[in-house]
Amino acid sequence: MWVVYTLNGLYFGALLFLISLGLNIILGVMGILNLAHGSLYAIGAFMAAWTIIAVGMKAPAFLIYLCLLSGFVLAGIVGWLMEKSLIRAMYNRTLEYQLLLTFGALLLLEDVIKMIWGGQAYYASAPFDLLGKINILGNVYPNYFLFVMAIAIVAGLLIWIFMAKTRLGIMLRAVSLDREMATGLGLNIGGLSTFAFVLGSALAGLAGALVIPTTPALLGIGMEPLILAFIVVVVGGLGSLKGALVGALLVGLTRSFGIAIFPEIELPLLFLIAGIILVAKPQGLFGR
Amino acid sequence: MHVKEMLKKPRWVVYLLIFIALLFIPRLLSLHNLMLFEYGLTFAIVGLGFNLLLGYTGLLSFGHGAYFAVGAYAVAMIGRYFPSSYAMEILLPAALFFSLLLSILFGFLCVRHTKIFFSILALALSMLLYALIFKLYYLTGGSDGLRVPIPSLFGISNAGVRRPAFLSGTYYYFLLFIFALSFLLMKGIVSSPFGKALQAIRDNEVRAELIGIRVRRYRLYAFSISGLYVGLGGALWSFVNGHVTADLSHWLFSGEIVYMTLLGGFGILEGPVIGAIIFTYLKLYAMSNTEYWMFVIGATLIALVLLLPNGVAGAVANLWAKIKKGKAAGGTSC
Amino acid sequence: MLVIEHLNKNFGYLQAVNDVSFEIKGGEIVSIIGTNGAGKTTLVNLISGYLKPDSGSILFFGQDITHASPYKRIRLGVGRSFQIIQLFGNATILDNVRTALFSRYGMIRRGLLPADRYSSVTQEATAILDSFNLLDKKDLTPKGLSEGDMKVLDVAIAFALKSKLLLLDEPTSGVATYDKFKVMDSIVAAIRKEGISTLIIEHDMDIVSGYSDRVIVMHEGQILAAGKPDEIMENKEVKATVFGILS
Amino acid sequence: MSNEILRRKFFKYMAAAALSALIMVGPFGGGTKAIAQAKRTIPTTPIRIGEVTFLTGAAAAPFGIPGDNTFKMCAEVINKEGGILGRKIELLSKDEAGGVDAQVKLCRKLILDDKVDAVLGYISSASCLAVLPIADELGGLIVAYDCGTQELMEGQKSPFEVPKFKLGFRSKAHLGIDNVGLALFIKKYYPKIKSIAGINQDYAWGRDSWLIFETAMKKLMPQVKVVKTLWPPLGNTDYTAHISALMGAEPDIVHSSLWGGDAVTFTKQAMGMGFFKKIRMAYSRGEPYPQEVGKEFPEGQIICCAGTHYFLYPPHDKSPLNKWFVEEYHKRYGKYPTYPCYHAYQAIYAYKYAVEKAAKLVGGWPSIEEIADAMTGLTFPTPSGTLTIREDHNGIEDVLVGITKLTPKYPFPILDPKRLEVFPASQVNAPVGIRTVDWVNSWK
């Protein structure tokens, strides 16, 4: 069983990683905590579900998996619109305005989703069913979860290479390290911020899309992951990409084994660990 | 300060007039609007406290729902486990005590940070309380919450009195009295040397440290006082609402507290009071008129942030200033 | 009153302050001049406690404050102004000074009576503003002040703490040249009146020479020369290194 | 502009405002309105009914929308048939989201401001507990239509006096029947099982469901051991950890009161992990989910219908009403009605029949109190058989439990007609005035 517990932890960690990675990129580069992040996750979920249902079960497999990307894309587009229309106006405003704006966006988007997709649930489990299961040490385990982990690892690696090697990535890191200095160097903060916001939103959308084959798209689907992403961010350190990874794995595994061993205190256990880490290391594990 | 002197100042005359006007509210409003207005008043107290932290100390907490919840639950749980001592004069002190206790505890952790770090940590802590209220279901009723019976007021038992009668009778005046009291108190606080110190911290942390203000400690003071106010608001609110649930400690509820503070304008002492009352009506009427009420209040919030950063009170003040400019008559400002 | 002995501070390979020793007597105004990067600001940070020295000692009225916290030093009477102006942006000029006074008198714990009720404090603040020629602007917020007045106010706040020693880090930096002397006039006049010992950091000799009892020249973390302003002006080495005049 | 100045300006304005307020009011003007007494003739104005269900959030899709659909459908049908005593029904449908305080405000507004004749609705137990007391406080009629908690109508300790609310009702049975029904069914069909486990959402609903099920099992099958109880949070999207934990514990049957998306998510993921090969599920509210999940929903799972609310029961040849209801609903919304639909039907028709019964007595349009009296002890036909609302103002229903089986006729498993059990209301409901838990504990 322990193998499966670990796999479960890794799977959940992988999803959390994608969400909190997006949150942290935005946080690091723009210094904005996007409370509407969960809504972008939800948008990704609904979009993926909708397209998968649209192409139908009979479509070729690769097409169905391509549909998962639609969530990634749409969330990115919505993120772009948000940045251009709202966040853009917030650059030289104080924190409370930025936070409240994203809070407003959260309320707004929840209902926009309802306007577009209505109140009913969307079931789109085709990608989950198509992949079938494998047998790991006598335990049946769905391949789809392994697939999700693979996607997360790939995404993580790409982002890492991007941040470490490419010019754009290095500029982004510079901005997140010291905004003033970066401005001094004459970097195009505006453009970089837009990029970061779109990337972050798209990652949330991707996470949402990846969840869809295992759970129906419902209104308010983005709320619970957002809270967990907050924990990850607090534990890992605000704005730290490494923190997102370690935090996500920590939360994922704690949860998985917590449920197996002390089922009574699943959620409080997470908060407890977060609390202990914060008391010991106020900035989070990898916070600056 | 002597009453005579005070009455010389237009500001105090205004306060007096408003207070008198409020005394007539029960005759002015229908029962339904009166009860709504009482929600507004309780949140006004919450806003006053929250504004001390946000407007005067420059710390934005997204977790003040926690102290509201503690105040409300202190009342509800005494009602459930010690019905014998279910009297206003015991309930309020208890609520104040517990909300102060929790705000000191959480505040101590939070004030080590500022800006976004502070906000998100406050949020996480309130969610911890949320998880606890949710979990300790046998004690707190979890998501189902607890009923809040009608308490005895100064020894006068209210057994058998229906809530509307209670709310439209003595309780309104009691509430109004507490509100006036906490308003004057807060007014004193923000204009006192202590208040000046907090504003110094808000304006320039480095310099504040440099003129010998223990920044962290004073942030903690501000945090605790605001927690106290929010807790008081929560306790008074619980009688109006009659039922408390874990949602009160959820960060979305904290978000509403921030919302109404901004709506009124957190630069201004009176701002949150206006904001609280407007928000109460805004949300209810949005909900009763469209199923897309979230869209409405969300859009309102965004418009507010973009167009009226100083909130309603600020806008009114600006407007007034413009009118005066228009008249070009340099009237002496009070 | 202030005795600095063999103070050393280095950041990595850079020796910012290198075996610096000097003394300031009561009521004395001493200026430290030197090119940028000579270690002047580092020295002020060491004295005000924002940096801890690697070695050496700082004695204040015979008490060793080498490792005391900034807060402790403020309470002991070491006040400073910053090269970058540090004011309370949303408060009136009067409150900028008054808050400092409240803090000094330990009144900031008083949370009920409005500040205006403490008339003695208000009077003292007014007096201070008067001596710094800011009285007429007391109801403005700092945003309404000229760069020069901001500098003066910045000093006035430090002054209000009744510091026994004032550390002024480039009090005229960022002030238009033709205002520099006006600023120095009002600052020094007020300081002289109270007879507060002062350490002024400046890179421009001309600005300080008229106001200082002594001038210390720093270069690459070391003291190059010290003495009366006019002596320094004649010092060849100083001319060469600091003013870049080759004779 | 500095805050100081802002504030000063602000005062002048408030001064004007306050003054004008004073002039307007005058010392003893106004006076609060009293609730109007209904007259003995039958008004021609439409009946205004406040209808509150979840239109937002996770409970909207499984309960709120179907309930809302049915309310609208029934209102329309009633109006087509000439309304209630000739008065047409006008529905004011509202969202149940937004927190309990929002619901209390909203309900007060409906009764005092919108002057509705009745408020029907409420899915969440929290809403019901918060809102029903308002009925007596404001003298309005409130009928809860879907919330499950047994606490709603029960007192602190048994015996308790009934009714708890003079004007507050629930037109359905509480969650007790589902879980008692499940226990009885398991005892009858799987007498040899050794161990059970539970996975229930971590809030009052899940806790109460498990509490009653566990107590009943202890009484009926003392030899059965509880090997694991899990409490996933509401709205959880990843059950892999829970599923593994359950499979690790290897119980024979797992009890679950999961609803909505959670139930579907759990089932899908459990299917993926080969859960059903080893373990049998017993869903206390499983009725909608075979339809939601579709063909691959595992066979042989125990499903309780939250009463006898099932689109195939009573059989259509026996019950034309159910036949009509199912066909009408399917025609309008392209789905077979689920139990929330039946609950909505019960609420709105409980009101209709109560009004008509009361009107016969008083001759004319009855007052709210008279309607309440008529509703107490009311028995009336519903698509799922007859429903009785007892003196404790709580509906009591028979409960239907079955086992899923694929048939060629439907694209999803249905309840195997050969292994269908209906436990009569008397067998699954606690007697009036006794708390359900105490009642179960008192079993011999």
Which residue ranges make up each domain of chain B? Answer: 32-325
How far apart (Å, rounded) are the C-alpha atoms in residues D305 and D288?
8
Q: Is residue C113 part of a domain?
A: no
- How far is it, in rounded angstroms, from Cα C98 to Cα C124? 8
Q: Which residues of chain D are at the A interface, by a Cβ-Cβ cutoff of 8 Å?
A: 55-58, 60-62, 64-65, 202, 228-233, 235-238, 240-242, 244-245, 247-248, 260-261, 264-265, 268-269, 272-274, 277, 292-294, 296
pLDDT tens for C188-229 read 877 887 778 888 888 777 777 778 888 888 887 788 777 777
Strand (E) or helix (H) holding A141? strand A139-142
Chain C residue closest to D2 (CA)?
A: C90
Q: Hey, is C20 helix, strand or coil?
A: strand
Q: D400 with D185: CB under 8 angstroms?
A: no
pLDDT surpassing 90 at residue D181: yes
Indicate which CATH number applies to the domain containing D134. Answer: 3.40.50.2300
Is D19 part of a structural domain of the chain?
no
All partners of chain A with 3 or more CB pairs under 8 angstroms: B, D
CA B206 to chain centre: 30
Per residue in D304-336, pLDDT (tens digit) is 988 888 888 888 888 899 999 999 999 999 888
Q: For residue D62, is the peptide bond before it cis, meaning its omega torsion is within 30 degrees of 0?
A: no
Cβ-defined contact of B334 to D8 (cutoff 8 Å): yes
CB atoms within 10 A of CB A134: 11
Tell me the C-alpha distance between B276 and B258, whole Å.
10
Structure tokens at D334: 């392209």
Q: D197, D186, D198, D301: which is closest to D258 by C-alpha?
A: D198
Does the distance separating the beta carbons of B109 and A271 come in below 8 Å?
no
Is A158 exposed, middle or buried, given 0-12, 13-18 or 19+ CB atoms closer than 10 A? exposed
Q: Which residues of chain C are within 8 Å of residue D3 when distances are taken between CB atoms?
A: 90
Check if the beta carbon of residue B76 is closer than 8 Å to that of residue B248. no
Nearest CA-CA partner of A11 in A210, A212, A128, A149 = A149
3-state secondary structure chain D: CCHHHHHHHHHHHHHHHHHHHHHHHCCCCCCCCCCCCCCCCCCCCCEEEEEEECCCCCCHHHHHHHHHHHHHHHHHHHHHCCCECCECEEEEEEECCCCHHHHHHHHHHHHHHCCCCEEEECCCHHHHHHHHHHHHHHCCCEEECCCCCHHHCCCCCCCCCCCCCCCEEECCCCCHHHHHHHHHHHHHHCCCCCEEEEECCCCHHHHHHHHHHHHHHHHHCCCCEEEEEECCCCCCCCCHHHHHHHHHHCCCEEEECCCHHHHHHHHHHHHHCCHHHHCEEEECCCCCHHHHHCCCCCCCCEEECCCCCECCECCCCCCHHHHHHHHHHHHHHCCCCCHHHHHHHHHHHHHHHHHHHHHHHHCCCCCHHHHHHHHCCCEEEECCEEEEECCCCEEECCEEEEEEECCCCCCCCEECHHHCEEECHHHHCCCCCCCHHHHHHCCC
Give a yes or no: residue C108 inside a domain: no
Identify any residues that bridge with A134 across adjacent strands, giving them in sequence order. Answer: A141
A158 touches chain D (CB under 8 A): no
Do residue B191 and residue C115 have CB atoms under 8 angstroms apart? yes
Environment class of residue A283 by beta-carbon count within 10 Å: exposed (0-12), middle (13-18) or buried (19+)? Answer: middle
Segment B218-229 mean pLDDT:
93
- The mean pLDDT of B129-146, rounded to a whole number, is 84
Per-residue pLDDT band for B140 (boundaries 50, 70, 90) equals: confident
- d(CA D241, CA D257) in angstroms, rounded, equals 18
Whether residue D15 and residue B14 make contact (CB cut-off 8 A), yes or no, is yes
Count of helix runs (H) and strand runs (E) in chain A: 12, 2
Do D116 and D169 lie in a common domain? yes
Counting the structural domains of chain C, the total is 1
* B137 to chain A: closest CA residue: A264
Instruction: Return the C-alpha torsion angle B244, B248, B252, B253, nearest 10.
Output: 90
Q: How close is the nearest chain A Cα to the Cα of B223, in Å? A: 16
Contact residues on chain A for B266, CB-CB shorter than 8 A? 96
Q: Say if C141 is an interface residue toward chain D (CB within 8 Å).
A: yes
D52: which strand partners?
D94, D121
D93/D91 Cα distance (integer angstroms): 6
Residues of C in contact with D4 (CB under 8 A): 92
Q: Measured between alpha carbons, how far is D415 from D407 in angstroms, rounded to an integer?
A: 10
Residue D167 lies in a domain: yes
**B32-325 CATH:** 1.10.3470
pLDDT value of residue B176:
92
How much is the pLDDT for D162?
81
Residue C166 parent element (H or E):
strand C165-169
> Do D58 and D105 share a domain, yes or no?
yes
Confirm if C57 and C35 have CB atoms less than 8 A apart.
no
Cβ neighbours of A107 in B, within 8 Å: 294-295, 297-298, 301
Q: Which uninterrupted H or E stretch holds B264?
A: helix B251-264
Number of A–B residue contacts, CB under 8 Å: 109
Of B168, B283, B321, the CB nearest to D9: B321
pLDDT confidence band for C243 (50 / 70 / 90):
low
With CA atoms as reference, the chain C residue closest to B184 would be C112
Q: Which residues of B touch C139 (CB under 8 A)?
A: none
Domain that holds residue D111: 47-174+321-395
pLDDT at residue B334 is higher than 50: no
Q: Do C92 and D2 touch (CB under 8 A)?
A: yes
**Closest Cβ–Cβ partner in B1, B191, B212 for C75:** B212
Mutate to test the interface with B, among A23, A39, A99 (most CBs of B within 10 A): A99
Query: Alpha-carbon Rg of chain C, whole angstroms?
Result: 18
Cα angle: C66, vertex C69, C72; to 5 degrees: 100
Tokens of B40: 């507004």
Q: Which residue did the predictor score with more confidence, C245 or D346?
A: D346
What residues in B contact A105, CB-CB < 8 Å? 298, 302
Show the tokens assigned to C10.
């280095």
- Cβ neighbours of residue D366 closer than 8 Å, sequence gap 6 or more: D38, D355, D358, D359, D374
What does each C-alpha distance from A24 to A16, A154, A192, A279, D204 come to in angstroms? Answer: 12, 18, 15, 21, 35
Among B119, B130, B129, smallest CA distance to B54 is for: B119
A108/B131 Cβ within 8 A: no
pLDDT classification of D31: cutoffs 50, 70, 90: very low
Q: Which of A89, A100, A264 sits opposite B262 (nearest CB)?
A: A100
ipTM confidence: 0.83
Task: Give the residue numbers spanning the domain of C46.
Answer: 2-88+146-243
Residue D417 lies in a domain: yes
Structure-token pair, residue D300: 């042989």
Neighbours of D298 (CB within 10 A): 18
> Domain A2-280 - what CATH class?
mainly alpha
CA-nearest of A192, A130, A143, A184 to A166 is A192
Q: Rounded to an integer, what distance in angstroms lies between the CA atom of residue D271 and that of residue B63?
A: 40
Chain C CB contacts of B200 below 8 Å = 88, 91, 99
Strand, coil or helix: what is C213? coil
Cβ proximity of C216 and C226 under 8 Å = yes
Residues in CB range of A97: below 8 A, 6 or more apart: A90, B305, B309
Output the CA angle B129-B135-B140, nearest 5 degrees: 80
pLDDT confidence band for B332 (50 / 70 / 90): very low
- Considering only CB atoms, which residues of chain A are within 8 Å of chain B? 27, 31, 33, 35, 86, 89-90, 93, 95-97, 99-101, 103-112, 114-115, 227, 230-231, 233-234, 238, 264-265, 267-268, 271, 274-275, 278-279, 282-283
State the amino acid at position A61 in one-letter form. A
Q: What is the tens place of the pLDDT at every residue in C54-85?
A: 888 888 888 888 888 877 888 788 888 777 77
Which residue on chain B is closest to D24 by alpha carbon?
A: B28
> Residue B203: which of C88, C100, C109 has the nearest Cβ?
C88
What gap in Å lies between CA D374 and CA D361, rounded to an integer?
A: 9
Percent of chain C residues topping a pLDDT of 90: 0
The domain that holds C204 is classified in CATH as 3.40.50.300
User: Backbone dihedral region of D122: left (phi > 0), alpha (psi from -120 to 50 degrees) or beta?
Assistant: left
What's the gap in Å between the CA of A65 and the closest CA on chain B? 32
Residue from B135, B151, B127, B167 nearest B248 by CA:
B127
Closest alpha carbon within chain A to B59: A96
How is chain A split among helix, strand and coil, in percent rounded to 5? Answer: 80, 5, 20
D208 and D290 within one domain: yes
Touching chains A and C? (3+ Cβ pairs < 8 A) = no
In a domain, residue D374? The reply is yes
**CA max distance for chain A:** 60
C127 falls within a domain: no
Q: Which residues of A touch B294 (CB under 8 A)?
A: 107-108, 110-111
For residues D22 and B28, give the distance between their C-alpha atoms in angstroms, rounded to a whole number.
Answer: 10
Each residue's pLDDT tens digit, B1-15: 455 666 667 778 888
Peptide bond between residue D314 and the one before it cis (omega within 30 degrees of 0) = yes
Q: What is the pTM of this model?
A: 0.86
Shortest Cα–Cα distance, D161 to chain B (Å):
16
Distance from CA of D201 to the nearest CA of A (A): 11
Among A83, A85, A107, the strongest candidate for a mutation testing the B interface, having the largest count of B CBs within 10 A, is: A107
User: Chain D partners of C90 at a C-beta cutoff of 8 Å?
Assistant: 2-3
Q: Is B199 on the interface with C (CB under 8 A)?
A: yes
Q: What is the largest CA-CA distance in chain B?
A: 67
**Strand partners for D92:** D50
- Whether D34 and chain B come into contact, CB under 8 Å, resolves to no
Interior CA angle at C206 toward C205 and C209, to 5°? 75
Residues 6 or more apart from B142 whose CB is under 8 A from it?
Answer: B133, B134, B135, B136, B246, D203, D204, D207
Map residue C24 onto helix, strand or coil: strand
Mutate to test the interface with C, among D4, D5, D6 (most CBs of C within 10 A): D4
Other Cβ atoms within 10 Å of A277 Cβ, number: 19
Identify the residue among D7, D68, D114 best suited for mutation to test binding to B, counting B beta carbons within 10 A and taking the highest. D7
Name the pairing type of β-strands D225-230 and D195-199.
parallel
B31–D33 C-beta distance less than 8 A:
yes
Tokens of C158: 């430090």
For chain A, 288 residues long, give each residue's pLDDT as a single digit of tens.
Answer: 788 888 888 999 999 999 999 998 988 888 888 899 999 999 999 999 999 888 877 778 888 888 889 999 999 999 999 998 888 887 777 777 888 899 999 999 988 998 898 878 888 888 888 888 888 877 788 888 899 999 999 999 999 998 888 888 888 888 887 777 777 777 788 888 899 999 999 999 999 999 988 888 888 888 888 888 888 888 888 878 888 899 999 988 888 888 777 777 766 778 778 778 877 777 777 776
C-alpha D353/C-alpha D360 separation (Å) is: 11
Q: Distance from C95 to chain D by nearest Cα, in Å?
A: 12
